[in-house]
Structure 1
Amino acid sequence: MGKFENEAREMLEAIGGKGNVAAVTHCATRMRFVLNDTGKADIKRIEKISAVKGTFTNAGQFQVIIGNDVPIFYNDFTAVSGIEGVSKEAAKSAAKSNQNPIQRVMTMLAEIFTPIIPAIIVGGLILGFRNILEGVGFEFLGQKVVDGVKQFDAAGEPVWNTITNVSTFWNGVNHFLWLPGEAIFHFLPVGITWSVTRKMGTTQILGIVLGICLVSPQLLNAYSVAGTSAAEIAENWVWDFGYFTVNRIGYQAQVIPALLAGLSLSYLEIFWRKRIPEVVSMIFVPFLSLLPALILAHTVLGPIGWTIGKGISFVVLAGLTGPVKWLFGAIFGALYAPLVITGLHHMSNAIDTQLIADTATHTTGLWPMIALSNIAQGSAVFAYYLMNRKNERAAEISLPAAISAYLGVTEPALFGVNVKYVYPFVAGMIGSGVAGLLSTTFNVQANSIGVGGLPGFMAINVKYMVPFFLCMAVAIIVPMFLTFFFRKSGILTKAEDEALESAEELSTSSAPVVEEAASGSKVAILSPLTGNARELCTANDPVFAQGVMGQGVLIDPTEGELVSPVDGIVSVLFPTKHAVGLVSSDGVELLMHIGMDTVNLEGEGFIAHVAQGDNVKAGDKLISFDIPAIKAAGYVVETPVIVTNQDTYMPTDMITLPADVSRGSQLMTATKL
């Protein structure tokens, strides 16, 4: 009988039987199911199975967290169910059947925009910093003087000097920072067309070239189109082919034209690759893909995309500035967090960028509400932390999640606490709705997209900062008050109460205690990598960030070599070589997972130097991996090093984080409970 045969049979029954499974696969820690009817899955029963550490649903897949033993569990499951497993990509493809057409489009858009979000955030921070340097007047710097005349505003109040008015150095810094700010936002179409080709699996350099052709200096800058007469455009900004002319207009900061152009390029390349012989494809496929896509971009798709973009901007702007803008703000503020759960929130980046490009003030009223929603959800989970701070497990999850949300990343807060227990989520939605109502009432505007959460004030237009701070106070106070109130009143607390009951039941069926070492004994865990070590809660993957798999350290490696941190045995080595599990000679179970979602690389870029079942000594080489190749494929290489049998061993005596570490240096200690 297999190790998990009984648990696998129970799992099969709990997910609705064999007929309810469309596809099944696994990664380093989780079983991934595509179910025909997700409603048939009995989540409470599944989470009571001794081998299960949690469940969640993402992108059409029902995922069950198992841990290091997931390959063994997977083999036993396929044996008892008679269901043949599939590859990760096949499971993703099958998962699309659980999505309606709108969800599929939104998923595609999310996958296109996600890789360029870091650049947008950096650009927003830069523009926010410039906003403070050149836009905020400080009384201690004195009153502004122009040609010997003191300046006053329309209300007769003194106009105070900004930092750039009084400092040549900071004025130079301000001018210099415009260089990356312009590169990110004005040339955004280059990033979009590149990301489209990356998502579609076509030639990325062609996407970059196409993007450059949309923002070339030889074109009339998109920002100048509104101020240029039709006669001047017809005379100076056209390609004249004798029989007809084509406007030479650029698409700086335009999202939809770039998106349509990138898709046309990718679909043309896919079309020609199927029809042109391999021997000449290198010559003809790029030519027959890029040139028609470029022609379409400047004749059809660009103008259509520009019109669609302006239409979207007009509708959103009408909501933000119309007679019932307070209602629009309340609805958008309340619903933004649910949009994050579905992934639809990525569309807001495109709308924000379009608003900044199209409005006369080059500002957006949407971004302030997004930042306020981050703050509201962070405040709700922070209130949950305050109520549960004496519960070590709850505190370990909720406090890092609150900090993350306050810095603009809400997924750990949403999936780790708020959505799971419902009442903090609702409290955050209400607080965000009230803050959004106030934001639109005061017409708060942002100069750019930046970091969300508390640092979001940096992107706010100077004259709206005071109203925005008021909205921030509301987004902090209201969710915290409501979270306390709902808990004390027993409103919407059923999910948490049931979870507490399940935890009590599961505590009686924990894994057997390892007897190799005496209670209180310590096992030294050495660093398996050279790089920068930081808190595990900063991991991109919420399952690792929340400590679901265990506690430990996150290392961002600078060298692609993973060595053993202990003497022991290789308990798990995944076929894709991106993760390895060890059991030390003292019984400490460790998992090292190189990168996030790197299972999708199917082993490319990884070389294993050991096999499952091998005995190893501390410092022995386990896996070599190609950091540049992994990053070029769009994945991070941050590597969790965690103790997974946390009911037996607890990580203690960690080095002060963040810190630079080298292979073989002391990282932490595992203490026997």
Structure 2
Amino acid sequence: MAKYADDAKALYELVGGKENISSVTHCATRMRFVLQDPDQADIEKIEALASVKGTFTQAGQFQVIIGNDVQEFYNEFVSISGIEGVNKEEAKTDAKKNMSLLQRMLAALAEIFTPLIPAIVVGGLILGFRNVIGDIKMLEEGTKTIAQVYPFWNGTYNFLWLIGEAIFHFLPVGITWSIAKKMGTTQILGIVLGITLVSPQLLNAYAVATTKAADIPFWDFGFAHIPMIGYQAQVIPAMLAGFMLAYLEIGLRKIVPNAVSMIVTPFFSLVPTVLAAHLILGPIGWKIGDVIANVVYSGLTSSLSWLFAALFGFLYAPLVVTGLHHMTNAIDLQLMSQFHGTNLWPMIALSNIAQGSAVLAIIFLHKGNEKEEQVSIPATISCYLGVTEPAMFGINLKYLYPFVAAMIGSGIAAVISVSSGVMANSIGVGGIPGILSIKPQYYLIFAFCMLIAIVVPFMLTVLFRKYNILNKVDQAPIRTFGKREFRTDSKKASNL
């Protein structure tokens, strides 16, 4: 019999059988189900299966952690169940029926920004490197930068701006393209719309504040003047314009005859949207973005910044669980546009590190639990590289007390970070490598914050387990430094 046949058959029955499975697919390590009735899944028995490392529900999907052999397990499951598998995009679409309106909105936001993150991360690293070689005076007794002394590094400094500008100044092009892709509309129209927001013939967004009103160029329609202002690095104007273009195209497709659709639909989708973008949507979106950025920035620089930081650092991990954390991408990008950096993103990186450190403590406490280590060890590495879901859903939320310990450690580290004025050039890798995206003058203090995010959650997790704080599930032997303790229902025995 095949290696996973028994467990695949058992999982098929425990999730409710064919009648309860709307669709099934898999990713790198997990089976992903969309269930008609999620409550029918017997989670306790599923997690008891030898092949299963844990379960969690996210974005309307019931996910079962299998590990690196998930492809083999999936093949067995499909063979036994007779259910035709679907691709990830089809599963995501199917999963939306299990999501609330807010969850669907947040999922849409995530789908817009996720394709852009690799470029934004690269841009952040490039800006950080440019700061090191071009802005820090570390040579000739602190009077010159590396770029000022060495022609090669001066050329590198100037060359790298080509990439940085393409990523951040022309970000609206990526946003409008991503919206068109997500909405299933014509992607090249999304790209063209984005270009009309950042065209060189427009007054650069960064120059608007220093340009007199009388000197701002405009289109003269006789009866009206429309300012020729660009929206470089602006997020919300691009999103508003992108969605208008997509919904116009979708609506026109329904009413325009196929014979003329190729001509009529693009024209009457794009032209009105570009006009509205510069006349209505752009100014409104710019104002909304400014308000959001100012509120967040004020909160992080006011006399109560420590409280704002403590709350954000403490609550960011629960935001990830709910999916609300996706909104921070737009806020970070708006902060970068307005203040040339973000003091929000460093706290996100610290929260990721803290969750990984809590799992590291669980590895220490449960040393020898080979089945759990197949989840906990990769989850720790993943956290330290910026991806927290495997750690939170596979380990920390399961036991709860490490999750809370990580929240506390993250909150403490966030307070120190904000109180010290730490700023990042951009969104970057969200774990330990994230220091590369921090502005160089804050490297040392951010390194200290990372140390806090490693040590505090680890120690709190060990203490919470030792004294059974917030622990209702974990009854495994307690491993401590220099001794091993064991709990029973009536007493505690020690092995010295």
Other-structure match for 2:157: 174
Please state how far the C-alpha of 1:50 moved relative to its aligned partner: 7.2
Other-structure match for 1:25: 23
Other-structure match for 1:544: none
Other-structure match for 1:336: 316
SS of alignment partner, residue 241 of structure 2: helix
Other-structure match for 2:140: 142
1:47 aligns with 2:27: no
Other-structure match for 1:290: 270
Whole-angstrom CA distance in 2 between matches of 1:387 and 1:6 = 28
1:602-649, Cα deviation, whole Å (9 max, x unpaired) = xxxxxxxxxxxxxxxxxxxxxxxxxxxxxxxxxxxxxxxxxxxxxxxx
Other-structure match for 1:517: none
Number of matched residues?
Answer: 465
1:24-423 alignment to 2 at 5 Å?
A: 24-27=22-25, 30=31, 32-36=33-37, 38-39=38-39, 41-48=41-48, 54-64=54-64, 67-75=74-82, 92-138=92-138, 141-145=139-143, 161-233=144-216, 237-359=217-339, 362-423=340-401
Whole-angstrom CA distance in 1 between matches of 2:349 and 2:7 = 48
Which residues of structure 1 form unaligned runs of 5+? 79-83, 146-160, 501-673
1:109-160, Cα deviation, whole Å (9 max, x unpaired) = 001110110000111111111121123343xx33144xxxxxxxxxxxxxxx
Whole-angstrom CA distance in 2 between matches of 1:458 and 1:50 = 40
Other-structure match for 1:441: 419
Whole-angstrom CA distance in 1 between matches of 2:93 and 2:15 = 20
- Matched letter for residue 46 of structure 1: I
Per the normalisation by structure 1, the TM-score is 0.64
Whole-angstrom CA distance in 1 between matches of 2:330 and 2:295 = 14
Whole-angstrom CA distance in 1 between matches of 2:86 and 2:345 = 41
CA contact (8 A) 2:53 2:375 kept: no
Query: Between Structure 1 and Structure 2, whose CA radius of gyration is higher?
Result: 1
CA contact (8 A) 1:254 1:306 kept: yes
1:418-446, Cα deviation, whole Å (9 max, x unpaired) = 23332222111110011111122222222
Whole-angstrom CA distance in 1 between matches of 2:188 and 2:86 = 32
Whole-angstrom CA distance in 2 between matches of 1:336 and 1:464 = 22
- Matched letter for residue 116 of structure 1: L
CA contact (8 A) 2:148 2:154 kept: yes
SS of alignment partner, residue 32 of structure 1: strand
* Residue 472 to residue 51, structure 1, CA distance change in 2 (3 Å): closer
1:465 aligns with 2:437: no
* Residue 33 to residue 493, structure 1, CA distance change in 2 (3 Å): same
1:346-384, Cα deviation, whole Å (9 max, x unpaired) = 22121111012123xx22110111111122122222222
CA contact (8 A) 1:207 1:262 kept: yes
CA contact (8 A) 2:342 2:423 kept: yes
* Residue 137 to residue 418, structure 1, CA distance change in 2 (3 Å): farther
1:512-557, Cα deviation, whole Å (9 max, x unpaired) = xxxxxxxxxxxxxxxxxxxxxxxxxxxxxxxxxxxxxxxxxxxxxx
CA contact (8 A) 1:24 1:85 kept: no
- Matched letter for residue 412 of structure 1: P
* Residue 6 to residue 449, structure 1, CA distance change in 2 (3 Å): closer
* Residue 231 to residue 61, structure 1, CA distance change in 2 (3 Å): same
Whole-angstrom CA distance in 2 between matches of 1:162 and 1:387 = 48
Please state how far the C-alpha of 1:54 moved relative to its aligned partner: 4.6
Whole-angstrom CA distance in 1 between matches of 2:7 and 2:344 = 52
- Matched letter for residue 263 of structure 1: F
Whole-angstrom CA distance in 2 between matches of 1:18 and 1:71 = 11
Whole-angstrom CA distance in 2 between matches of 1:52 and 1:440 = 41
Whole-angstrom CA distance in 2 between matches of 1:6 and 1:453 = 35
Whole-angstrom CA distance in 2 between matches of 1:347 and 1:330 = 19
**Larger helix fraction of residues:** 2
1:273-320, Cα deviation, whole Å (9 max, x unpaired) = 111122221111111111111111111111111111111112111211
1:490 aligns with 2:465: no
* Residue 239 to residue 325, structure 1, CA distance change in 2 (3 Å): same
- Matched letter for residue 25 of structure 2: C
Other-structure match for 1:452: 430
Please state how far the C-alpha of 1:247 moved relative to its aligned partner: 0.8
Which residues of structure 2 form unaligned runs of 5+? 67-72, 479-496
CA contact (8 A) 1:30 1:67 kept: yes
CA contact (8 A) 1:372 1:435 kept: yes
Other-structure match for 1:425: 403
1:225-269, Cα deviation, whole Å (9 max, x unpaired) = 111122222xxx110111110011100000011111111111111
- Matched letter for residue 32 of structure 1: F
Please state how far the C-alpha of 1:52 moved relative to its aligned partner: 6.1
CA contact (8 A) 2:25 2:87 kept: no
- Matched letter for residue 141 of structure 2: Q
1:592-671 alignment to 2 at 5 Å?
A: none
1:192-239, Cα deviation, whole Å (9 max, x unpaired) = 001001100111111111101100000011111111122222xxx110
Whole-angstrom CA distance in 2 between matches of 1:499 and 1:244 = 77
CA contact (8 A) 1:352 1:366 kept: yes
**Larger strand fraction of residues:** 1
- Matched letter for residue 33 of structure 2: R
CA contact (8 A) 1:330 1:437 kept: yes
* Residue 389 to residue 248, structure 1, CA distance change in 2 (3 Å): same
Whole-angstrom CA distance in 1 between matches of 2:123 and 2:85 = 43
* Residue 85 to residue 205, structure 1, CA distance change in 2 (3 Å): closer
Other-structure match for 2:488: none
* Residue 480 to residue 31, structure 1, CA distance change in 2 (3 Å): closer
Per the normalisation by structure 2, the TM-score is 0.85
* Residue 459 to residue 196, structure 1, CA distance change in 2 (3 Å): same
* Residue 386 to residue 166, structure 1, CA distance change in 2 (3 Å): farther
Whole-angstrom CA distance in 2 between matches of 1:30 and 1:459 = 34
Identity percentage of aligned residues: 57
- Matched letter for residue 196 of structure 1: I
CA contact (8 A) 1:25 1:88 kept: no
Whole-angstrom CA distance in 1 between matches of 2:160 and 2:8 = 58
SS of alignment partner, residue 211 of structure 2: coil
User: What do you get for the CA RMSD once the two structures are aligned?
Assistant: 3.0
